[in-house]
Amino acid sequence: MDKDELVEYFRTQVRQDPEVPSAVAAIRTLLEFLKRDQTGETILGLRENLTQTIRRLEEADSSVAVSSGGELFLRFISLTSLEHPDLSQCKKVMVERGELFLKKISLSRSKVAKLCHTFIKDGAKILTHSSSRVVLKVLESAAADKKRFTVYVTESQPDSAGRQMADKLRKLNIPVTVVLDAAVGYIMEKVDLVIVGAEGVVESGGIINKIGTYQLAVCSKAHNKPFYVVAESFKFVRLYPLNQQDVPERFKYKADTLKAVEDLAEEHPMIDYTPPSLITLIFTDLGVLTPSAVSDELIKLYL
Interface residues with another protein (CB under 8 A)?
A: 118-119, 121, 193, 226, 280-281, 286-290, 292-293, 296
Decide: helix, strand or coil at residue 230: strand
- Name the residue nearer to another protein (CB basis): 52 or 292: 292
Cβ 256 to another protein, closest distance in Å? 40
Listed in sequence order, the residues at least 6 apart from 110 whose beta carbon sits closer than 8 Å to its beta carbon are 137
Edge-first strand order for the sheet with 149-154 is 176-179, 149-154, 124-129, 193-196, 227-230, 281-284, 287-289
Shortest spacing between CB 105 and another protein, in angstroms: 18
* Residue 122 vs 167, nearer CB to another protein: 122
Closest CB to another protein among 93 and 218?
Answer: 218
Beta strand pairing call for 281-284 and 271-274? unpaired
- Supply the minimum distance, in Å, between the C-beta of residue 292 and another protein: 4
| Long-range contacts of 94-99, Cβ-Cβ distance < 8 Å, separation of 24 or more | 94/34, 94/46, 95/31, 95/34, 95/35, 98/27, 98/30, 98/31, 98/34, 98/73, 99/31
Give whichever of 133 and 221 is closer to another protein, judged by the CB atom: 221
* Type of residue numbered 45: G
Q: Which residue, 226 or 241, has its beta carbon nearer to another protein?
A: 226
Percentage helix, strand, coil for the chain under 3-state DSSP, each rounded to 5: 55, 15, 30
Contact call for residues 28 and 6 (beta carbons, < 8 A): no
State the nearest-atom distance from the C-beta of 206 to another protein, in Å.
14
In whole angstroms, the minimum distance from the beta carbon of 65 to another protein comes to 24
Closer of 47 and 221 to another protein (Cβ): 221
Of 77 and 289, CB closest to another protein: 289
Cα separation, 299 vs 293, whole angstroms: 10
Give Cβ neighbours of residue 198 (< 8 Å, ≥ 6 apart): 207, 208, 209, 229, 230, 231, 235, 282
